[in-house]
Structure 1
């Protein structure tokens, strides 16, 4: 169970550090005041401890009875003798006092008060029922009457393990504890710690508690603040804790915002990548479909061309014009040979003879003749060449009678002719 501190100056923290090992301990809170606000006993009560409260102010005594119905609440004042104490009550404060000096000082500061006649007993009488029983801590906070309270104590019959007394003038840092400390030292108590407001003393028979007061309250005590303490110190520490908490919350919020932003950025990038991949896939699919369509179109075009080629190759006109194509091919080859001079005169004569025979054969077939003429019109050079080759030879000139020949010659020519003729006859 977490220890929650309610005291105004961490008195409960120091006492718990020393006595937290005790189960169901007992305490006496003299000048208990509020059962929660600035209460030294509240945290112990929550951990199962029980005790006696001494509170002379009627309002606070009633509050204690309502909040702690299973504890004893003594509505009286303690001193060194029995009687009636004129108690100066300053409502809603912890400044109620039986010391006139302090009461006058509070009045000059504008605090309203009333005087209440309060029963007064010595501590030995008020706690006679506890004689010989263990009491683990006793706190005395009576606004200047601490010494008188201790003078009414029987230190042999009642020996609390730890005694805490307020050691400063109310609302001041001025220390005033000499008479009370003399009483405690004479009763075999040892001073061990001063927190700036209270002085702590341990009984001589419990020296093991001394180590618990070697340092002030700190983070290693592992306590939580209730936030209900009225002192400036507690409020300052509480504000410090709140400030640190706020800073941590701000850091947490900033980290959360950064994490959310990073998560959003990650989602955005994932969406972009997914969208880009989807677009790329769509583009690739479209390109594949386009290529497939083009391939199919090309295939269809090739099939159509092949179909048309097959139709031409099997057509009647193609078969009829086959000789013409063969002749055209032969003619082109012959024309090339003529141009390059690769044919002899004898071959030329035989070719011409063959061509004339072919021409005569074609002439006897009007259909072939028309086809050949149409084909040769497409190759004018070849047509001219063939026309020249197939033209009939010129008629041989008639031989002149020797008398006509000699008469036509000049005298010189006739002489030459006669000489040649004579030579030819001798041969």
Structure 2
């Protein structure tokens, strides 16, 4: 597939004749734009390389940018060397070195800018590349074609095919009469006219003439690039431009929608981040609550265990209280019974006391009082004598025991002297054994005195202060007995 970029299918005709050449070489004089109306671009895409000669600085820069691997010479081509006036018409292919043609363009409304450019004869350029096979040479210099061709001599370089624009700019007026004779004298033969350009084939390559018998047609398998300035693709270009405008409008709308969606997405991302932070915070709070629940459950379990223990202790206390209440009731019943007996005996004692008082108050009891005293004295004399003899008999022992107890008390207050006393007693074992026996008996008596039940004072709400001494004594004995029963039950593990 061959893509045509040229204005009037010049590249199609050249490709038909030269497509068998691989990596050919060309010289394009008046190259202009690297894409629009370019004769060389299709060859460039198929691996060809060449030289571009363009006096316009605008197009020379575009060529250098688009074709960095090709030679671009910014100069004019004429019949001799020097500096000429060049008339540039920006962004068109109408720039020229012909002052009359430039004036016509100015009168037609174009903006013309005059500059000075270097000019070299065609022969000098051809001689630079005499070692190359120049497969085609194109000359499109807007009315200066005659000046260019006259500068060919004395070079003997002959490109295979020459294409020369042969009408006045923007007209169909042919101008080849001025310069065609020169080409014919150089050995070229005219082979084709396309309405704008004339094609010539070198006498050395007559085999190429046959490719110029017909204009471009369907058998050339050509597609149009759509970049040419001709009107062949105007309809399609207009449609493409319209589609492009619609596409750009849609792109602008899509861009706005994208900006809106981007803003919405950013807002959603922000909300998501807030939700994420909220979820993180809630998770943290949930973990804290779970920890608190664990601690609470543990504490509740402990409280339940304590409650169970307390209920068990309460049940035990209730049972013990019930037992104590029963004991108290039993003791109270016994006390009531004893009180009854005591009252009965009190009545008896009161009767006896009244009888005794009546006896004491009788005359006979008062008259016999001296006799009773004498009789009591006589009866007590033997007892007093016996007691005095017994006291005198045991007095030395009592004195010895008393001194011995004083000594033991002194030793207890002064422990340092205990070892010395033990050493002395060790000499008399019998005395030592007696003293140890006395000390042990003394200790036992002390223990009995401190723990005697007689010292136990009963507690409770029962007030016996108005009862006789015998009643209080009996009640005290009952209380001590009860305490001993309780102690025995506790030792046996009974409630």
TM-score by length of 1: 0.55
Q: Deviations over 1:3-37 (max 9, x none)?
A: 11000100000000000000000000000000000
Alignment of 1:78-157 (within 5 A): 78-154=77-153, 156-157=155-156
Q: Is the 8 A contact 2:127 2:155 kept in 1?
A: no
What is residue 161 of structure 1 aligned with on the other side?
160
2 CA distance for matches of 1:20 and 1:239?
32
Once the two structures are superposed, residues 58-80 of structure 1 have per-residue CA deviations (whole angstroms, 9 ceiling, x without a partner) of: 01000000101111000000000
Q: State whether residues 155 and 187 of structure 1, in contact with CA within 8 Å, keep that contact through their aligned partners in structure 2.
A: no
Q: By how many angstroms is 1:155 displaced?
A: 6.7
Q: 1:218-367 counterparts in 2 under 5 A?
A: 218-233=217-232, 235=234
Greater share of residues in helix: 2
Distance 2:19 2:7 in 1: 19
SS in 2 for 1:120: strand
Give the drift of 1:233. Answer: 4.1
RMSD: 1.9
The separation in 1 between residues aligned to 2:236 and 2:16, in whole angstroms, is 19
Match of 1:349 in 2: none
- Kept in 2, the 8 Å contact 1:193–1:199? The answer is yes
Deviation at 1:127, TM superposition (A): 3.1
SS of aligned partner of 2:179: helix
CA contact (8 A) 1:229 1:235 kept: no
Q: Structure 1 residue 234: deviation in Å? A: 5.0
Looking at structure 2, the residues matched to 156 and 59 of structure 1 have their Cα atoms a distance apart, in angstroms, of 30
Query: What's the secondary structure of 1:81's corresponding residue?
Result: coil
Distance 1:78 1:213, change over 3 A: same
Q: Gaps spanning 5+ residues in structure 2: where?
A: 242-495
Q: How far is the alpha carbon of 1:169 from its aligned partner?
A: 0.3
- 1:178 is displaced (CA, Å) by 1.0
Q: Displacement, 1:231?
A: 1.8
SS in 1 for 2:23: coil
2 CA distance for matches of 1:56 and 1:237?
33
Comparing 149-158 with 106-115, greater Cα deviation is found at 149-158
- The answer on whether the counterparts of 2:37 and 2:227 sit within 8 Å (CA) in structure 1 is yes
Report 1 or 2 for greater relative contact order, CA contacts < 8 Å, sequence distance ≥ 6.
Answer: 1
1:219 CA displacement: 1.0
**Contact kept in structure 2, 1:132 and 1:157, CA below 8 Å:** no
Please name the residue that 1:174 is paired with.
173
Determine helix, strand or coil for the equivalent of 1:22: coil
Partner deviation per Cα, 1:66-112 (whole Å, 9 max, x = no partner)? 10111100000000000111001000100001111111110111101
TM-superposed deviation, 1:156? 4.9
User: Deviation per CA, 1:162-221, whole angstroms, max 9, x where unpaired?
Assistant: 000000000001111112201100001000000000000000011111111111111110
Task: Give the Cα separation in 2 of the matches to 1:174 and 1:203.
Answer: 26
Once the two structures are TM-superposed, the CA of residue 147 in structure 1 deviates from its matched residue by: 1.0
Q: CA deviation at 1:151?
A: 1.0
Q: Is the 8 A contact 1:132 1:158 kept in 2?
A: no
Tell me, in whole angstroms, the C-alpha distance in 1 between the residues paired with 2:231 and 2:169. Answer: 14
Gap change, CA 1:54 and 1:46, over 3 Å in 2: same
Contact 1:9 1:234 survives alignment (8 Å) = no
SS at match of 1:102: helix
CA offsets 1:313-342 (integer angstroms, 9 cap, x no match)? xxxxxxxxxxxxxxxxxxxxxxxxxxxxxx
Counterpart-to-counterpart distance in 2, 1:155 and 1:168: 26
Alpha carbons 1:9, 1:233 under 8 Å: kept? no
Shift of 1:236: 6.3
Distance 1:100 1:233, change over 3 A: farther
Residue number in structure 2 paired with 1:193: 192
Matched residue, 2:9: 10
SS of corresponding position for 1:205: helix
Q: 1:88 to 1:186 in 2, by over 3 A?
A: same
Residue in 2 aligned with 1:322? none
Judge conservation of contact 2:83–2:119 (CA < 8 Å) in 1: yes
When structure 1 is superposed on structure 2, of 144-153 and 188-197 the one drifting more is 144-153
CA change 1:104–1:233 in 2 (3 A) is farther
1:113, 1:160 → 2: CA distance? 34
Task: Classify the secondary structure of the residue corresponding to 1:173.
Answer: coil
Q: What is the Cα deviation at residue 124 of structure 1?
A: 1.3
> How many residues are aligned here?
241
What TM-score, normalized by structure 2, do the two folds share? 0.47
